[in-house]
Structures are given as C-alpha cells and as structure tokens.
Amino acid sequence: MSSQVQLCNLALDAAHARSSISSIGESSAEGQACARHYEPALEAVLRSAHWNFARKQVTLSLLKDATKTPPDSVPQPWSYEYAYPSDCLRARRVLPQMSGVGGAAYPGWQGPQQQMPAVSFIIGQDDDGSGNAIPVVLTNEPQAQLVYTVRITNPQLFDAEFEQAFIFYLGSRLCGPLTGDKELALNLFQQAQALTTKAAADNGDEGLTVIDQVPDWIRVRGFLPDYVFPPGSGWYMDPLPLSMAI
C-alpha cells in the first residue's frame, strides 16, 4: 500500500515533473503544488463512483419532525429533516424500512423481508440553533438510514482501482502548475475517467444486486409472485423464480 507522499510522487511521474518530493508542502514547486491539489483531487475521485471501500451506513440524527404535534417546520413535501453526516462526501441512498412477514401464515419466520419502494430524499440547507448554515437530509422516511461515500484520508484503505484513478487525476491537475502540458493533462484526465467508469461496474459486481421494484409492464401481465403475495408484500425464504401464472 502507498503513502500520501508515494501517491504524490507517482502523480508527479505521470505529469512528467522534473523531481519528486519527500513531504507534502515542502518548499519545492512540486511540494507546494501537491499540497494545493491533493485534498481536492482526493475528494473528487471519491465522489466520482460508488467505491465499495468508501461505503458507510448510519442511522441519521433527527433534527425536525413535521408529523408530530405541533409539527416542526420542514420544507415541503418532506416530513423529516436529518443532520448531514460530517464525514459524508456523497449521499448515495436512504434505505427503506423493512417489515417482517410471519405469524400464522408463515410460522417461525422472523426475518425482515418485505419489499418496499425506493425512498426519495434530497440534500438541503437549514440553520442550526446559532443561525449558522448547515447541510441537512430531507426525506419522508422515519428513522432513516443513509448510505453514503465517506471521506477517507488513509491511503492504506484505498483499493487498487481507486489508487490508479487518483494518481492519474492528481497528475492531470499537477500538469498545469508544473509543466503546462495541456495535452498530457487531458490524457491523464481521460485515463482517470476510464478507470472510474470501469470501477463503477467492478464495485457493483462485488455485491448482490437486488431489483427492488417490479416494472409495471411485467406486473400487469401477471406472474407467480403476484398471485402468491399481493403487491407491496414480500417473499419469505428466497425470491421465487419469475414464471407466468397459469
């Protein structure tokens, strides 16, 4: 695994810089350029894809509730306002509540399996108690859990694809102040962009992909789960295979 200085030196190599550095922020032109561009480049590449190594999931802290009596003032059409996590770089999604199916119909089953529709949310702004502007998460989901890209500064946690994309992107930003080579800067940026696009697919392949909603054009034709479980309910055990009902 690389250190911050090693990543900077690899980016300097990519940018065809004249010398390397021994520390970020040293008095050399290369050290000063790395100090200016390292953090912005890191955040930009972290935000560019849903990197699995940077995935974090937390239950949000409720700030305002428009459903209580008397209601809090929450921007319409939202019911809840939550604190935006301080280490969040990009909000990915708010997880839907899951309800268990069981009881007399399915004795012994305790797992949360009910399918729920995707949860809408938006990032907004509000004031804290002192009048300072703060980012907030607005949604209609109670006890909301947010999946987001967390700010990671420890290079030991970077995966290989992210590291390469970051090196090329940082190198593209260093070309301007150090070499002025616009063609090389564009080439490095394109390489970083290509790696990021590939990473989006690779990170998706590492996990289980679940289709949360059945398209209307399939549902209206009728298929087996529609008859076994009514719309909006869930399955127990494993999902049933898609098959036409007789």
pLDDT in tens, 29-76: 999 999 999 999 999 999 999 999 999 999 999 999 999 999 999 999
Average pLDDT across the chain, whole number = 83
CA distance 192 to 97: 37
Burial class of residue 6 in the structure, from the number of CB atoms within 10 Å of its CB (0-12 exposed, 13-18 middle, 19+ buried): middle
Q: What is the amino acid identity at position 215? A: P
| CB within 8 Å of 229: residues ≥ 6 apart | 235
Q: Which two tokens stand for residue 221?
A: 């034709």
Instruction: Give me the pLDDT at residue 73, please.
Output: 93
Instruction: Give me the pLDDT at residue 23, please.
Output: 96
CA distance 218 to 225: 11
Q: Which two tokens stand for residue 63?
A: 């700030």
| Residue 241 or 110, more confident | 110
CA angle 79, 113, 101 (to 5 degrees): 95
**Across the chain, where does the E strand assignment appear?**
55-59, 62-65, 80-83, 88-95, 121-127, 133-139, 145-150
Q: What is the pTM of this model?
A: 0.76
Q: In this prediction, what percent of the chain has a pLDDT beyond 70? A: 74
* 3-state SS, residue 135: strand
Contact present, 150 and 158 (Cβ < 8 Å): no
**Residue 68: CA atoms inside 13 Å, Cβ hemisphere, count?**
11
What is the rounded average pLDDT of the residues 205-232?
52
- How does residue 245 score in pLDDT terms, banded at 50, 70 and 90? very low
Instruction: Give me the pLDDT at residue 195, please.
Output: 93
| DSSP line for 145-213 | EEEEEE----GGG--HHHHHHHHHHHHHHHHHHHT--HHHHHHHHHHHHHHHHHHHHHHHHTS-----S
